[in-house]
Structure 1
Amino acid sequence: MKIIMYHYIREKVKKIPNFRYLHIENFKKQLDFFEKEFGFVNLEEFLFLKENPLFCNKLKNKILLTFDDGLKDHYNYVFNELTKRKLFGIFFVPTRIFKQKKALDVHRIHYLLGKMGGGILLNTAYNIIKPSMLKRSSLKLFKNYYQELDDDKSTKDFKLLFNYFIKPEYKEKILDQVITNFWNDDEIFDNLYLSKNELKTMSDNGMLIASHSFTHLSFKTLNIYNQKYELKSSINFLNSFIKPPIQIFSYPYGESTSYAKRWLKKYNFDFAFSSIPSKDINYKDLINNPFALHRYDCNEFIYGKANYG
């Protein structure tokens, strides 16, 4: 079984020329390709894996579609396309988007880079950051991250700085200051995320809605208690208005941790998806490591490469 991961899927947005996304027409072409070459896992087959992991042998190369970040794109474009094709997908939602009318840091970073590029943003951030705000251990641990991306060096460095190097307690405040120089938080937030009603509609029509943590911070940067909070608060909120037949989690940035696996088991999750490294899933993965199931990025397959602007 091949689990495919998607994020932004939309039409062209001229005002952010460096913004990376998958155009809806290429998404449709990729679905056509997957249908011809592999076929898709249907909802009943996926749910059966919970009780019988050996059934994974029957699925072989079939495709399971997953979508991260709770984006409005997934209602405006993806949901209709999947419904038309009688396919289902799993949609992972970071639940802070319902608690605060402000885009998550990960998406603020994407929009800033889409508008300005990395160079000027890096210089602005360096003028704000003090050495005490950086995690020295992370500078070595994560320095080679994003090497596989085709971004320019300044863009990679800006992502590394905010996703891994800055201590979590300073990250949002520093980004607030960068944002004020180049954009408006309200403008970024507006029409970016799914609503509760849209999630309910998708769930009622055969889509699975699942947890993608609360704040979308890398679990590798959080202590054991913060990881517990991220999981518990997220799933409690989703379960307050959606009752999924299976409980699934997707790690922000695709990075699993041993602490998270402990909490996932305690709170009766069935599966959790990571993305590093990408590989096919077989029944042994479902039995031995159900809380770190690997996914492919859509850009690893034909028609999945990012568009710009």
Structure 2
Amino acid sequence: MTDYARTGSQADDLLSPGTHAIDLLGVRQAYIVAGQGPLCVVHSGGPGIGWSYLRMPALERHFTMLYLEPIGTGDSGHLASHPEGYSVARYSAQLGALFDALDLRDALLLGHSHGGFVAQHYALRQPERLKGIIVYASAAVTGGAFIASAGQNVVAFAARHAGDALAEDVLAAWQNLATMQSDADYLHVLQRLLPVYFADFRRPDLHFEAIRNALTATLLIGDGAPFDVTPDLPGLGVPALVLAGEQDFICGPAHNEIIASLVPDARLLRFQDAGHFIHLEQADAFNAAVLGFGLGIGARRDA
């Protein structure tokens, strides 16, 4: 039996629009429901980044979007070992407990970045709950080579933008990652790193300063183990849409190509002029891709 207790919502009202919270595996799990239509569960990145950067209002016109506030962030609770213990497996268990508690079925699962790790881990274990998975700007394997490649891309970014103070500070911020000791440290480093996450952070219509000022972050620590689901992905039993920004410094096309090449029923889409946040830089194309995939699965089943 799933270890959960409902709080703050009626038992028959847990998918109504608004903010909800239930107790799962001994931790308060907050989530936000918005929109109408088929269900799409959204797991944001991080770990430790507030969910709101991933709000997708255009998709809420077509899907019931359930945005998790990952444990350790926002109104969700912390693990007893906080700030340690936030492994991919623990996040996946939390996601599974939510699916069980709400009896979610035939759902799309969209995971961004670190949330994509969680989505892959969960989909490999509970495919019967899902109709499809959207792996957005993520990877199937991490470790030393993954971090080294990102570091090289940070150096190249700073060189391309020589003379731009914000861009040049990205390199110093990357080097400060190992020195973080508090939530405030983490947030400050993320705000300084943010330019490298975009293909063009100076684009006037991006509203970069507003995005940066809206960031929230909690310093969380996992188990230190590299993430690697490459041996398991050939057995993934649900369709997958894999989304990659051509200029994503940390989870670029090469990482996403690995996922698409291993999953039996996968489609890879690469977005020009986009970095790690395709839904912000190429919103129309991103929304069309998710909508086409999500509604297309049903059409394929009926054919």
Between Structure 1 and Structure 2, which shows a larger proportion of strand residues? 2
- TM bin, normalised by shorter chain, reads 0.3 to 0.5
Between Structure 1 and Structure 2, which shows a larger proportion of helix residues? 1
The TM-score with structure 1 as length reference comes to 0.38
The TM-score with structure 2 as length reference comes to 0.39
